[in-house]
Amino acid sequence: MPKVRPEDMDLDSGLADDFDSVILDAYFGVKADYDAVVGTSVPMLILCHENPNDPAKPFEQAYSLGAAKQWAIVKDGKEVVSDKSPDSHKFNMNSRAGEVVGRLFELAGKGNKGEGQKVFVGRDYYMTESSFYIGADCHWKREKRSTVGGGTSDVLLPTEFRGFKTVATGTAGKASPKAAGKAVAVEASEQDTEIITKLAEGKDERGLKQACLKEFKGRNDLLNLIINKGLLAELEKDGKLVKGPDGRFV
């Protein structure tokens, strides 16, 4: 009997897989790389995991919320609200974030989703609040899912739920440092503003945001200001951006 199996020929992705982790922190933010692929600006749920390979270096995993409800980031990343249905606190079950939540309910209820929901109801946080996720103690494993581009990706999902732990950073009610500190403190420089005004010519607001995603790739704090914090409206108010009758910037 050969000792080498076909699966032994697969190459490792280098991504953390099949490990125990407590969610140290959570926030809602913008991931420019994802937006550039899908062509729209959508907030994402970002979970900060314990790193099984290096406890001193936690890592982040982002999950899309879906675009149909037009989610907007509020409270400096602690929460998202739906512009389309402001009273809704539910993610679409087919979104990546919805899949994570559904799985947590199922695991917490030991196969009974309704019982699992009661566990989370007792914490008194909506799934649209970052504190909903903080402290969740789970085993995580990557599972293949279809992508918007027609391919597949390995999505990190919980496979076992062991309750909640109190964590040193990101304790319930405390915003992520990235959401509460950096995103608030950052400002658009004069050079950034000049670039934005040049990019704006002939574009509507959506087109300008998409252009900014490409131009400022990797600068998530600035992109958060542009997409979620009303920077474009401020520039309009200051007269640095002007819309024509057709809704396009001139």
* DSSP state at residue 187: -
Q: Are residues 20 and 143 in the same domain?
A: yes
DSSP string, 46-104: EEEE--SS-TTS-EEEEEE--STT-EEEEGGGTEEEESS-TT-----TTSHHHHHHHHH
The answer to whether residue 242 sits within a structural domain is no
Burial of 2 (0-12, 13-18, 19+ CB in 10 A): exposed
Who wins on pLDDT, 98 or 147?
98
Q: Is residue 158 part of a domain?
A: yes
Residue 69 within any structural domain of the chain: yes
Least confident of 9-18, 54-63, 138-147: 9-18
126 assigned to some structural domain = yes
Q: Are 55 and 233 in contact (CB under 8 A)?
A: no
Q: Are residues 88 and 119 in the same domain?
A: yes
CA distance 69 to 88: 9
pTM of the model: 0.62
Residue 37 included in any domain = yes
| Neighbour-count burial for 147-181, b at 16+ CB within 10 Å, e otherwise | eeeeeeeebbbbeebeebeebeebebeebbebbbe
Instruction: Select from 174, 196, 229 the last residue of a domain.
Output: 174
Sequence-distant (6+) residues with CB within 8 A of 150 are none
Query: Looking at the structure, do residues 92 and 53 belong to the same domain, yes or no?
Result: yes
Look at the chain and count its residues: 250
In a domain, 249, yes or no: no
Instruction: List pLDDT tens digits, range 218-239.
Output: 676 787 788 766 889 889 999 9
Measured distance CA(90)–CA(163) in Å, rounded: 22
Q: Are 114 and 232 members of one domain?
A: no
Domain count, the chain: 2
CB 73 within 8 A of CB 28: yes
Confirm whether 23 is domain-assigned: yes
How many other CB atoms are found less than 10 A from the CB of residue 90?
A: 13
**Whether residues 121 and 199 fall in one domain:** no
pLDDT-derived band of residue 39, with 50, 70 and 90 as boundaries?
very low
Q: Are 76 and 228 in contact (CB under 8 A)?
A: no
Phi and psi torsions of 63, nearest 5°: -130, 130
Band of pLDDT at residue 6, cut at 50, 70 and 90: low
The answer to whether residue 245 scores a pLDDT higher than 80 is: yes
Pair (26, 132) in one structural domain: yes
Q: Among 154, 174, 194, give the residue marking a domain's end.
A: 174
pLDDT at 41: 59
Q: For residues 34 and 196, which has the higher predicted lDDT (pLDDT)?
A: 196
Please report whether residue 74 resides in a domain: yes
Q: How many other C-beta atoms can be found within 10 angstroms of the C-beta atom of residue 221?
A: 19
**Does residue 222 contact residue 188 with C-beta atoms inside 8 Å?**
yes
Is there a single domain that holds both residue 223 and residue 140?
no
Residues 200 and 119 in one domain: no
Model confidence pLDDT, tens digit, residues 170-204 = 433 333 333 333 333 347 899 999 999 999 999 99
Nearest residue to 45 (alpha-carbon basis) of 58, 59, 64, 66: 64
Written as six digits, the tokens of 23 are: 């969610």
List all residues 6 or more positions away from 4 whose beta carbon is below 8 Å from its beta carbon: none
Domain that holds residue 145: 16-174
pLDDT digits (tens, 9 = 90+) for 65-124: 988 888 888 787 888 888 778 788 999 998 999 999 999 999 999 999 999 999 999 999
